[in-house]
Amino acid sequence: MVARFFRSRGARKFMANRLAVAAFLVIAGYLLVAGLVWFTGIITLEETLGRIGASYQPGLWGAQRSGKRIEDATFWFEVAQNAADRGDFETARGGVAFYERRLTGELDADEIKARVARGIALAKEVLVVEGFDESASVLPKVDEIDAIVVELFPHPEGWDAFMYGARHVLGTDRQGRSISFRAIYSIKVAVQVGVVTALFAVLFGSFVGAAAAFFGGWIDHAVIWLYSTFSSIPYLVLLSVLVYMFNDTSVDKTLIPLYVAFGLTFWVGPCRVIRGETLKIKELEYIQAATAIGFSRTYILIKHVIPNTAHLMFINASLLFIGAIKGEVILSFLGLGVKSGPSWGIMISQSKAEVVSGFFWQIGTATVLMFVLVLAFNILSDALQDAFDPKHV
């Protein structure tokens, strides 16, 4: 079955299109990441909400200017100071709050306090220098501050070092959360919304559309009325209303309001397309031949009509998948979509203020990930149409 699919004309045509194969691999990568997050829990929801360092830290490849380095150091000094003040080193050492970066166990309370005091003093000296952020003269002092931070919070090693790197590679947001982990977790959220919506909308819409066109009569009138009604309402407005309706109910913090909203609106597209195709197919002679054999109408619909609309279902599914992801991002941006956990929409919404002050890590990460996915899907759906539409030779 699978082997035969790969030998089929459509599959061969698809494989010959390099851009399409690249797009397919990109999408497979996204789906793999989503699957890993979903099934293995390599990134948990808590990890995307926990603080990993100072606010607005740039990614590891960003310019490491003195100002940012001192901000970061000050954050760690405060953590150490608090621990010393409370005499509670275990929490900080156990890495509960900051994952791989833990307070050293080799120094006692007094030694920690002494190093924190020295570090803070150095930081104050640097901060009073006019234009310290651009000045090279303060660099020795900044280096010393960093050395103290490393002495207090030694760099992790092995797997920990890798995870630490991954966590910090794209910097932190306003609450000091890992942008990279939030963005990756958002892949899972987006794929989840996309897959559920596309599957439901295409299966339901196609079947309803095909049945309407094939049986005609009052069924057709009812379906046309229904989808005309749905498509005459601006879809974002309808989505907002639906999502508002779920406010303060037990499913408010889940993705269910989104599924309901998308499910109610997105089936219209495939329904309309498949209905049109069915109107065409049902007049073809092989349908009459099936009638002449004596098959029931329902059998002909399922066995002879719907399989011949499969290429449109594929294309519609890939279009709806990105449609749903874009919808999720827009709704989340407006604060109506994902309410617990990260989403590209929430990330972009948060970065409104950051962009003004020149911090592009968060909005850049979210938009690039979304852009690549949407682009790959558009290329893929074009290629699918070229390869599997029976009319294309």
Where do contacts with another protein occur on this chain (CB under 8 A)? 9, 284-286, 288-296, 303-304, 307-308, 310, 390
Look at residues 358, 351, 209, 329 and name the one whose alpha carbon lies nearest to residue 270: 209
Closer to another protein by Cβ: residue 5 or 159: 5
Closest contact distance (angstroms) between CB of 314 and another protein is 14
Closest contact distance (angstroms) between CB of 9 and another protein is 8
Closest contact distance (angstroms) between CB of 287 and another protein is 8
Closest contact distance (angstroms) between CB of 390 and another protein is 5
Look at residues 363, 353, 274, 360 and name the one whose alpha carbon lies nearest to residue 313: 274
Closer to another protein by Cβ: residue 94 or 390: 390
Closer to another protein by Cβ: residue 291 or 378: 291
Q: How many angstroms separate the CA atoms of 262 and 258, rounded? A: 6
Q: How many angstroms separate the CA atoms of 28 and 186, rounded? A: 16
**53 in Cβ contact with 172 (< 8 Å):** yes
Answer positive or negative: Cα dihedral of 10, 202, 204, 211: negative
Closer to another protein by Cβ: residue 214 or 321: 214
Closer to another protein by Cβ: residue 300 or 322: 300
Q: How many angstroms separate the CA atoms of 196 and 287, rounded? A: 33
Closer to another protein by Cβ: residue 128 or 292: 292
Q: In Å, how far are 2, 12, 312 from 5, measured between CA atoms?
A: 5, 9, 17
Closest contact distance (angstroms) between CB of 293 and another protein is 4
**350 in Cβ contact with 174 (< 8 Å):** yes
Torsion of CA 103, 109, 113, 115, to 10 degrees: -60
Closest contact distance (angstroms) between CB of 56 and another protein is 57
